[in-house]
Amino acid sequence: MSKFKSLSSLLEDSAFSSSSSSSNWGADKRKYAQDSFDFLTLIKEWGEIVGPRLAEHTIPLKNSRKVLTVLSDHSAFSSQLSFLEQVLIKKVTDRFPSLQGKITKIVFQTNPRHFRDQFKATEPLKRKTETVEQITHKFSPADQKLLKEAEQMFSHIEDDEMKKSLTSLFVQFHKTKN
């Protein structure tokens, strides 16, 4: 009188049989694929829905219980979009048909901190690219010397774009090294 079932007896159960569950699983899978929605796609395409100016100051936060929550950095943007609530719902459902009937209301929340933090996170990247661009100066004697050295070193490379990239890397490496 064992309380445990053998693996073979489990596999013989109707829940695991190939005839009944695989056909239902396929139907459920297709239904799920039609109903599924990737919220990140909405976030990526938000600028095309509300326009670039409003997209800088707003972002969709969540969609639950037929309510789309949109985060903004200032109450002025929240109130501006609240007047366009029905238009926005129509634009979202036109772009994403799987959301038809799944958004009936839009709630706007204001949180400037999120946007400030996001701006701070991207700011160092902008500064870093600016400093890389300022590293070389074509009239500087030291830079001209490095450029000539790089040209000699990479003269055997036929691809001009590759040669230019390698020269740039060579100059940047030697400038940051000193």
Q: How far is the CA of 39 from the CAs of 121, 125, 136, in angstroms? A: 22, 26, 43
pTM confidence score = 0.50
Sign of the torsion angle spanned by Cα atoms 35, 39, 42, 46: positive
| From 17-21, 118-122, 170-174, the region with the lowest mean pLDDT | 17-21
How far apart are alpha carbons 170 and 173 in whole angstroms?
5
Beta carbons of 108 and 70 less than 8 angstroms apart: yes
Q: Per the structure block, which two tokens stand in for 62?
A: 């969540």
pLDDT tens digits, 122-168:
666 555 555 545 556 667 788 888 888 888 988 898 888 888 888 88
How big is the chain, counted in residues?
178
Name the residue with tokens 């400030």.
Answer: 116
The ranges assigned to domains in the chain are 11-122, 135-177
